Amino acid sequence: MSLSKHADVTIDDVCNAVLAYYPDADVSVLKRAHEFAEKVHGDQKRHSGEPYMVHPRSVAFILTELRLDVASIATAILHDTVEDTHATLEEVEKQFGTTIATLVDGVTKLSKITFKTSEEKQAENFRKMIIAMAKDIRVILVKLADRLHNMRTLEHLLPYKQKAIAQETLDIYAPIANRLGISSVKIELEDLCLRYLHPDIYYKLASKVHKTKREREKYIEEVCAMIQEKLKEYDLHGTVVGRPKHFHSIYKKMERRKIDFEQIHDLIAFRILLDNITECYKALGVIHATYKPVPGRFKDYIAIPKANKYQSLHSTVIGPHGERIEIQIRTNDMHQVAEHGIAAHWKYKEGRFESQDTNAVEWVNRLLEWHKDLSDPNEFLETVKIDLFAEDVYVFTPNGDVMEFPFGSSPLDFAYAVHTDVGNRCMGAKVNGKIVPLKYRLKSGDTVEILTSTTQTPSKDWLKLVKTSKAKAKIRAYIKIQERSRALALGKEMLEKELRLYSYTVQKLLKLPQLEEFLRRKGTKTLDEVLIYVGYGRMQPQTISQAVLPPEVLSTPKPEPKADDSVLKKIFDNAKKRTENKNAVTVENIDNILIRFARCCNPIPGDSIVGFVSRGRGVTVHTVACPKALDTESDRKIDVTWNLQVPIKRHVRIRVLSHDTAGILANMSQAISGCGVNISQANIRTTKDRKAVSMFEVEVANTEELAKVLSALEARKGVINVERVKS
Ligand code: MN
């Protein structure tokens, strides 16, 4: 490893590296490629002053670490010949065959791309890059190795160039390496980017890490031995290694949590490699039994692999000296995939790599989906950037803090991440200064500001908008509390009313020993829990009175319920004002319950209806098809039917579209009153194209009468369309 990073490698080093993992490889082609490249590059020099060939050899060597095939490595050696020398693609093809020539061509095309600062340019070029990759993934792997070596030798360029290349690497290449699962390359690229983009932080971290190197090594050795020992006790034989985390990940953590280096404790990660999955979970058990796990820091990527196929168990535990340490547990196979990603899935067959492996094919297909159906280069770059950053979206708070969310998160997720109260009162958000709806999906780089209102409360629809489990849990908790308290109040009203029949009160009931027995039988501890059942319509208040009231009380004659004698008098009075027809709907098994017609769908006799119990409002009646009814908790649902014995009049609004001709309003009014139907309100407005939209509020007895009115209107001259307004 250190050989490739810090010293020139010879072509023999490259060949030997290939022979180490593929003993039968024909390395003569590599030697020929090297001779060819050396000849055409001539006395070209790199910015460092070194002979140019140092670069292609280093790139080739990096690829041997990913155990790539001979064609890829030959391509690495030849990758700059067509671009930077007089050599032509035809020559390469003649000497090295079609496969290598095609690969070299692919890399050359990528190298010709100069990423401009403007996003558009980047996007277009990036698209070419993806398409090139689509033809052969090896082009991308060579390009990544090329970029890695260029990043390793970036110090020889001017500072402004260093920054530009590092930024591009961080935006484009490191995420690609991540997406392809090649963590060794990704980690090194990210650390190099940090060094050039934030040198102050990089060198501070480097010196701190360096300063404590000796102690740390001793510590790592000690902990590894302890873990090893523990595992042995349980007959687990794995490899345990410890290593400092890479700088970029420390930096990201500092940024994310707004903390200093000193406050970051889990600088070291330990890795346990075992033979199979069962052993991994067993080892996890051993670790958690030995070291106290930090809550919320366990992740099971074995059961649920990352998008890039990464699999491992992660847990942060309190180590032997009370410090946090991160532990990763995985099988040797998973480790191969973790380090080499897609490259680990390329199989050797008869001297060449094949992507027969379904994993590799699936991988490439997913990469290709990125650029489907996108015509706008900016949009493309946006999408690609998001996709590259896997499941995560990073957004800014108005203070410039960065917060991380799962892909697809909405402003509500953000609001709940800030504070539960902010979430509960969230009525909208400003993203990059513009107001967006709650259903907006956060994008990386957005600056999000939450707008709150004291009158806002969470609704069930919100559950469809949020992605984070925190937001979901908080919304559910709010709804549950609301619904429970509504049900409780209604249940209490219903029981009070029932008890009044026996001149009894809830206070008195609470003192009865029979109540305790009743609650015990129902498996609850408090009357409130039973009342919630009553409120949800799952239990009749009579069930309670019959079971709990003493026989002498029950035998007292039931006084006839008088409307104005009810506990609910006030509510009933209100109800009278709101609806003059409390008996027009019969609620299953319950008499004298308050009925309210939902304003959203405004049911009239003849409509199919459904009821929902709600606090202080008795039962709300919706039409069966009302979207709001479909959304309401089925727990609160209750069967209701029209009581056709009770004649009522319901107000219904009708919208009529007509031509704007003289006397049209009078004409339509006649049509309505001709059916014997009273009009309680009418208004009309005209449109630019000489049409009129009229709105009538009429009083009808049922759907039949309404239908008559609608067809009478439709029959009038000049009328284009008639409809019942549902809300
Ligand atoms: Mn190059």
- Tokens, residue 499: 């008890």
Distance of CA 40 from the midpoint of ligand 1 (Å): 14
Q: What is d(CA 549, CA 514) in angstroms, rounded to the nearest whole number?
A: 8
Q: What is the pLDDT of residues 255-291, one digit of tens each?
A: 877 777 666 666 778 999 999 999 999 999 999 999 8
Residue type present at position 184: S
C-alpha 384 – ligand 1 centre gap (Å): 24
Q: From ligand 1's centre to the CA of 63, what distance in Å?
A: 13
- pTM, two decimals, is 0.48
Q: Enumerate the β-bridge partners of residue 317.
A: 293, 325
In this prediction, residue 36 carries a pLDDT of 95
- Quote the CA–CA distance of 222 and 234 in Å, as a whole number: 19
Per-residue model confidence as pLDDT tens digits over 68-98 = 888 899 999 999 998 888 889 999 999 999 9
Exposure string over 32-64, b if 16+ CB within 10 A, otherwise e: ebbebbbebbeeeeeeeeebbbbbbbbbbbbbb
Q: Which of 713, 661, 602, 653 is nearest to 721 (CA)?
A: 713
- Residue 112: the pLDDT is 63
Cα separation, 75 vs 138, whole angstroms = 9
Q: What are phi and psi of 233, to 5 degrees?
A: -55, -30
Neighbours of 469 (CB within 10 A): 10
Angle at 146 between CA 141 and CA 151, to 5 degrees: 125
- Indicate whether 458 pLDDT > 50: yes
Mean pLDDT of the 567-578 span: 45
Query: Is it the case that residue 534 has pLDDT exceeding 50?
Result: yes
Q: Which of 13, 83, 168, 635 is catalytic?
A: 83
Which segments within 299-354 are labelled E, that is strand? 299-300, 313-318, 324-331, 347-349, 352-354
Which residues are CB-neighbours of 301 under 8 A, at least 6 positions away? 310, 311, 312, 313, 314
d(CA 313, CA 324): 16
**Residue recorded with tokens 């055409």:** 40
Q: What is the pLDDT of residues 36-52, one digit of tens each?
A: 999 999 889 988 889 99
Predicted local distance difference test score (pLDDT) of residue 139: 84
Long-range residue pairs from 151-156, CB within 8 A, at least 24 positions apart, any chain = 151/188, 151/189, 151/192, 151/193, 152/5, 152/58, 152/188, 152/192, 153/46, 153/47, 153/48, 153/55, 154/192, 154/196, 156/46, 156/47, 156/48, 156/49
What digits encode the pLDDT tens for the residues 172-209?
788 778 777 788 899 999 999 999 999 988 888 888 77
Q: Please state the rounded mean pLDDT for residues 391-413.
A: 76
pLDDT of amino acid 536? 79
pLDDT of residue 357: 56
Cα–ligand 1 centroid distance for 398 (angstroms): 41
* Residue % of the chain over a pLDDT of 70: 81
Question: Over 50: is that where the pLDDT of 134 sits?
Answer: no
Among 7-11, 73-77, 220-224, 567-571, the least confident range: 567-571
Encode pLDDT of 323-333 as tens digits: 788 899 999 98
User: Tens digits of per-residue pLDDT, 356-376?
Assistant: 455 655 555 555 454 444 444
DSSP-assigned letter for residue 694: E
Q: For position 276, what pLDDT does the model report?
A: 93
95 Cβ contact partners less than 8 Å away, ≥ 6 residues apart: 32, 36
In this prediction, residue 118 has a pLDDT band, given cuts at 50, 70 and 90, of very low
Catalytic residue among 38, 84, 124, 168: 84
Residue-level pLDDT at 572:
44
pLDDT of residue 707: 87
Q: What's the confidence (pLDDT) of residue 437?
A: 87
Question: What share of the chain has pLDDT > 90, as a percent?
Answer: 21
> What does the buried/exposed string (b/e) look like for 620-633 if buried means 16 or more CB atoms within 10 Å of the residue's CB?
bbbbeebebbeebe
Q: Is 84 a catalytic residue?
A: yes
Q: Measured in angstroms, how far is the CA atom of residue 345 from the centroid of ligand 1?
A: 25
Residue 388 reports pLDDT greater than 60: no
The residues with which 330 forms a beta bridge, in sequence order, are 273
What distance in angstroms lies between residue 146's CA and the mean position of ligand 1's atoms?
A: 5
Nearest to 351 by CA among 29, 716, 674, 2: 29
pLDDT at position 639: 80
Rounded Cα distance, 384 and 122, in Å: 11
The number of residues making up the chain comes to: 727
* Cα 282 from Cα 299, distance rounded (Å): 15
Helix (H/G/I), strand (E/B), else coil: 323: coil
Q: In this model, does residue 560 exceed pLDDT 60?
A: no
Task: Write the single-letter amino acid at 343.
Answer: A
CB 383 within 8 A of CB 370: yes
Residue 106 Cα to ligand 1 middle (Å) = 13
Q: Higher model confidence: residue 350 or residue 636?
A: 636
Q: Is the pLDDT of residue 132 over 50?
A: no
Mean pLDDT of 65-70: 86
